[in-house]
Structure 1
Amino acid sequence: MAEESFELDESFLDPVVQDDPFVAYATLHEKCPVYKVPENGLYMVTKYEDVREVLTTPSIYSSRPGTGAGGLNEASKAHAQVFEEKGWVKGRTLQRTDPPEHSHYRKILGRVFTRRAVDGMIPRIDEITHGLIDQFIDRGHCEFVSEFALPLPGIFICEQLGLPAEEYETFKRWADAMLAMSQRPLSPEEAVVQAEYEVEAQYHLAREFEKRRKEPTDDLISALVHAHQEDEPFTMEELQDLMHQLVTGGFETTTSALSTSMWLLLRHPDQMQMLIDDRSLQKNFIEESLRFDSPVAGLWRTAACPAELGGASIPEGSAVMPRFAAANRDAEVFDSPDKFDITREDLHKHVAFGLGSHFCLGASLARAELMSAFSAILDRMENIRLIEPLDDQPHKFSFFLRPMKELHIEFDKV
């Protein structure tokens, strides 16, 4: 049974714990499956079945944003004020609504990310993948995050949106600003700076919306501008929110998955050799990487009513986080969950992409990018090894993502 008075030996928000949270997850599985984080009052759900319940019961655990039981803090107020005064307060669309409202937005975007649609994107993904490798293959080494894991999804999502691919680094900076309030605690001053970066992105996107209204094109922005919700075009606030989700989802999550997957192979040379010897294991390798170290650790929900879960009493209005990364290490579901094993047979159970009505729309695209990346890497490189020791904390601090700082590798050209 969970005890709301239970506290971990080290704060869950400690950068050391955030960098390697898996010992904390194991402790919480055993002693406090639904853990109230003392610093922010968030109820963090760690057991697999409890996470499933949160993700599949929107009537109790809503995706509509709340203010938490204690209301907005000063940083959140300062952040919101910037949009009220200088930009657009984002509408509630795909990620921030529940069915049936959510279903309308999902239906429109879902057409873009069907498996069939993604299959048609694979030749271009492969082209970008090989083009990036061409830039460092003769050198025999690269910084994997900045030279490959970031530009691959960055260039592709920019092209899909109809934005200049060479500007992906600018959009990455904007994506970071869009996620800043969710990544780590900010001071009010820091929150204002990040909000102003995002407002800069909003005005850039607003100009793109206007261009597409006047001259429709064959890209995702144009499709959204000319889409209709109940016979009405999307408002500027709705468009800004949809773009917020597409830009952030198109960058950080796939970049993290690519970087982490490479890092896992380097840390487990026996598994790397197994993959080299039997390339039919590649899909399993990707799914095991997603399970073992999930690129999105969890997402927010709001308790729509008082709830009981995992032995904890959750007050109405409380912030709740189903922790995907913890659920994917639950020993009651996965055999030897802390073992990285690309031959395991229970991978269909992992929840790295969520579950239920909010299952990640871009899951098929992310998988396609991962398959393209590692097919090309294994075709063109061998004897891949780490050339610089990683930082004691190899990840940037983030409460819900797993961004690696850098990953310097060297290799022999095939």
Structure 2
Amino acid sequence: MTLTSDVVLDPYDYDFHEDPYPYYKRLRDEAPLYRNEQLGFWALSRHADVLQGFRNSTTLSNKFGVSLDPVSRGPHASKTMSFLAMDDPAHLRLRTLVSKGFTPRRIRELEPRVTELTLKHLDTMLEKAGDGTVDYVAEFAGKLPMDVISELMGVPEADRDRIRALADGVMHREDGITDVPAEAIEASLNLIVYYQDMVAERRKKLTDDLTSALLEAEIDGDRLTDDEVLGFMFLMVIAGNETTTKLLANAAFWGHKNPDQLTQVYEDTDRVPLWVEETLRYDTSSQILARTVVGELTLYDTTIPDGDVVLLLPGSAHRDERVFDDPDAYVIGREIGSKLMSFGSGAHFCLGAHLARMEARVALTELFRRIRGYEVDEANAVRVHSSNVRGFAHLPITVQLR
């Protein structure tokens, strides 16, 4: 198949951030294996190819990281991205040890506390909303996930605002910047220093948080080093905080754009998980993930050489009309099942998927118990500019309380 298409995929382009879906459609139709010479990557956009890409963790390696940003790429990537930037057997060893601390039971036991944190932030947001507009991201969606992670790890409440600010600093990108800015690197270092102190404290005296559980985790005498614990904590901040914030805001935005779909949710909050799943399909937080070719890979009569970067586009895969009926329609309750790739697939399937789903369910259920309607001020909504995640930096809303 020849790659004759004049469509340009630039993950740093603000126009692409506003609405990537027309670009994706053209890629799927015209260049299912796309090449960008200038930025030096290939991209796969069809559902079948993206799924195959996630599952082929030998030829498509994670070991140089999963971001296109040059500073994040390289053999050092696992220092901040933990086992997400590793291949087996190193990946499996670390993942198995970490999952001894990060258990479904621990997540279940966290739910009452997640509900408390949700209500605290909801109270503040709804009070500020009063008769006017309030920023749903600044007051709610941007605060809750980082607080949940801090709760899980054992960060004292007094430090959480600061930790949240550092986490935001790690992710922020200005217009036209195609690499990690100095401010983000500084925020990353400050965050790591904070967590280093926390790990050192737990080494002296264990508590019942995830940080202690990670230090205690052991398989046949094998334990996590301090650096490995730190890498995982940092991964939680990036992967677990950012994506859930985006999910909560994307759900609110698309619910507002499709009010007929939300009627069923107002009537029955048990349908919130279906709302979450359709949001994950329709406009997923994680749009683009990078892999590195090991050996070589042949697709569409084209051989991709060793060391080249291949981008997997789950954001495009979820709108593939080869797999979903009427994919550009937002339909709460549609059949999605195992076709969803928001959390990846295969060996690197997201360890935090159940935490993200639980958080989103609790947050949106409690919100809908308190309101009977809301409107998004679209003119003043501001998108996040990132080469791999999609969502809102600001989402002003007005609410009608029940």
Instruction: Please give the TM-score of this superposition, normalised by the length of structure 1.
Output: 0.87
Match of 1:128 in 2: 117
Match of 2:195 in 1: 205
Aligned residue pairs total 398
Can you list the C-alpha shifts for 1:183-213, whole angstroms capped at 9, x where unaligned? 97446xx644432322222222211111111
Give the letter aligned to residue 41 of structure 1.
G
Query: 1:32: how far off?
Result: 0.6
Give the letter aligned to residue 351 of structure 1.
M
Q: Secondary structure at the match of 2:84?
A: coil
Match of 1:396 in 2: 384
Cα distance in 2 for residues equivalent to 1:145 and 1:307: 41
Which of 344, 365, 370 is 1:375 aligned to? Answer: 365
Match of 2:29 in 1: 30
Cα distance in 1 for residues equivalent to 2:175 and 2:390: 10
Can you list the C-alpha shifts for 1:329-364, whole angstroms capped at 9, x where unaligned? 111111111110013123441111110111111110
Q: Secondary structure at the match of 1:296?
A: coil
Query: 1:403: how far off?
Result: 3.1
Given that 1:111 and 1:117 are in contact with CA atoms closer than 8 Å, whether structure 2 keeps it comes out as no
In the alignment, structure 2 segments of 5+ residues that lack a partner are none
Can you list the C-alpha shifts for 1:167-186, whole angstroms capped at 9, x where unaligned? 33432343345456999744
Q: Secondary structure at the match of 2:387?
A: coil
Q: 1:66 to 1:342 in 2, by over 3 A?
A: closer
Q: Secondary structure at the match of 1:405?
A: strand
Which of 97, 100, 121 is 1:108 aligned to? Answer: 97
Q: Secondary structure at the match of 2:372?
A: strand
Cα distance in 1 for residues equivalent to 2:218 and 2:19: 44
Q: Secondary structure at the match of 1:399?
A: coil
Q: Secondary structure at the match of 1:248?
A: helix
Match of 1:160 in 2: 152
Give the letter aligned to residue 33 of structure 2.
V
Cα distance in 2 for residues equivalent to 1:148 and 1:177: 18
Cα distance in 2 for residues equivalent to 1:284 and 1:306: 40
Give the letter aligned to residue 253 of structure 2.
W
Q: Give the stretch that moved more between structures: 378-387 or 252-261.
A: 378-387
Q: 1:377 to 1:109 in 2, by over 3 A?
A: same
Give the letter aligned to residue 221 of structure 1.
T
Can you list the C-alpha shifts for 1:251-290, whole angstroms capped at 9, x where unaligned? 1110000000000111111111232234443221110000
Match of 2:309 in 1: 319
Q: 1:165 to 1:6 in 2, by over 3 A?
A: farther
In the alignment, structure 1 segments of 5+ residues that lack a partner are none
Q: Are 1:309 and 2:299 an aligned pair?
A: yes
Instruction: Please give the TM-score of this superposition, normalised by the length of structure 2.
Output: 0.90
Cα distance in 2 for residues equivalent to 1:119 and 1:89: 28
Given that 1:67 and 1:317 are in contact with CA atoms closer than 8 Å, whether structure 2 keeps it comes out as no
Q: 1:192 to 1:281 in 2, by over 3 A?
A: closer
What is the 5 A alignment of 1:125-274? 125-138=114-127, 139-140=130-131, 141-179=133-171, 185-186=177-178, 191-228=181-218, 231-274=221-264
Q: Give the stretch that moved more between structures: 216-225 or 317-326.
A: 216-225
Q: Secondary structure at the match of 2:83?
A: coil
Query: 1:98: how far off?
Result: 1.8
Given that 2:146 and 2:241 are in contact with CA atoms closer than 8 Å, whether structure 1 keeps it comes out as yes
